[in-house]
Structure 1
Amino acid sequence: MNPVDVKLVVLDMAGTTVADDGLVERAFDAAAGALGVEPGTPEHARMAEHVRATMGESKISVFRHLFGEEEKAQRANLAFEAAYHELVDGGLCVALPGAAEAIERLRTAGRRTVLTTGFSRSTQDRILTALGWHGIADLTLCPAEAGRGRPYPDLALTALLRTGTDSVHEMAVVGDTGYDMLTGTRAGAAVVAGVLTGAHREERLRADGATHVLGSIAELPGLLLG
């Protein structure tokens, strides 16, 4: 495929453009503790493994799977968000090297860019504020604004519709998890690129449909712009 054909780039945040550095798992520990699940127990280990395996998925969906009851899932989600916000406000949320420059280069070259997340809108906005990234992309989306989160295609397809992009064949989806890759393949994206700065390794990214695997987001303009 000629790289010039890509007109829309749908980018994940944590692990792809924003450093995670274990923040999700730290916030999960707080959420689990709020529901009485203590670190070091078999139940905690089982839940933590599920969180790692489903990185990129809507967080409320993860908690619904883990705790079953909607009331418990909502409590866990609120505790998770409070803990994550505290970490972000504490200065622990930073952009990955080259991320802002890559987005700027893509937009300068006429590519529309959309930042997506598995977090809620309030958490996404907290991250954008911490980084000074409001306005860095053409659009930002969270699962509640698209219908379903990853691994469903909704976020990518909503980005396509909201930006007025003509075809899925003009879209690239980029992320650090297998669920990002599934989102891209299910949405029919021409490029589904995995990066190795986040949750999952190349084997998982390839298995879930990556057409390309990059060391980091800094390599993306070279892939898409030639």
Structure 2
Amino acid sequence: MTTDIRLVVLDMAGTTVADDGLVERAFQAAADALGVEAGSAEHQRMLEHVRLTMGESKITVFRHLFGTEERAQLANAAFEGAYHDLVDGGLCAPLPGAAEAIEGLRSSGRKVVLTTGFSRATQDRILNALGWQDIADLTLCPADAGRGRPYPDMVLAALLRTQTDSVRQIAVAGDTGYDMLTGTRSGASVVAGVLTGAHAEERLRADGATHVLASIADLPGVLGL
């Protein structure tokens, strides 16, 4: 049990928000827009990279996959359009216990910040669909902080903007290895992996998880609530 935590930085898709394959479905639209044939060896290679880098800034992923900035921007635009359509179609839901965990953490006096690898437009689309505009103290995307995961920028931006005194007063939680790297690189005392999203326990622990939880609903207990 860890009690001296003042700031809790939570990932969204796969951690507090159900993904249910939406990222992969939206990636298919991006691949189609760039002429990558579904089922081809090239498509499979790209999809595997998307899976391995879940949690990373999506434009960074597309820059790696498609080579030029123009192609990456085209892919990103197609991805965002497809993801927004899925969200608008009602395929976006909170994970069980997520809202209650956030509310409990804030009621206990902790600051809660929601982070994402998506753009601000996509993050806001999700927050609006869930009615979560005011659920957290702050929301951050990679463009708000400098770099996305696996760099520590969003966690450190959260510390600065909430005026938290020390990195040792931070807990970070997410469903990907990149979330764990972000937490460890920021100096957070608690780096909790959850098993409701992209990566399994082995990957989460390899990338620095101090705790592995069945879901975000278990995090308040780890923090002494």
Shift of 1:184: 0.2
Shift of 1:77: 0.2
Q: 1:8 matched to which residue of 2? A: 7
Q: 1:196 matched to which residue of 2? A: 195
Equivalents in 1 of 2:132, 2:224: separation in Å? 23
Q: Is 2:42 aligned against 1:38?
A: no
Equivalents in 2 of 1:209, 1:4: separation in Å? 20
Q: Is 2:87 aligned against 1:88?
A: yes
3-state SS of 1:198 partner:
coil
Amino acid in structure 2 at the alignment position of 1:99 = A
Amino acid in structure 2 at the alignment position of 1:51 = V
* 1:165-184 paired onto structure 2 within 5 Å: 165-184=164-183
3-state SS of 1:114 partner:
strand
Give unmatched runs, 5+ long, in structure 2: none
3-state SS of 1:4 partner:
coil
Task: Give a deviation string over 1:163-212, Cα, whole Å, max 9, x none.
Answer: 00000000001000000000000000000000000000000000000000
Task: Give the count of matched residue pairs.
Answer: 225
Equivalents in 2 of 1:50, 1:29: separation in Å? 13
Runs of 4+ with deviation above 4 angstroms: none
Amino acid in structure 1 at the alignment position of 2:66 = F
* 1:49-128 paired onto structure 2 within 5 Å: 49-128=48-127
Equivalents in 2 of 1:183, 1:52: separation in Å? 17
**RMSD, aligned CA:** 0.6
Task: Give a deviation string over 1:35-86, Cα, whole Å, max 9, x none.
Answer: 0001110000000000000000000000000001000000000000000000
Give unmatched runs, 5+ long, in structure 1: none
Shift of 1:3: 2.0
Equivalents in 2 of 1:112, 1:222: separation in Å? 16
Amino acid in structure 2 at the alignment position of 1:84 = Y
TM-score, normalised via structure 1 length: 0.99
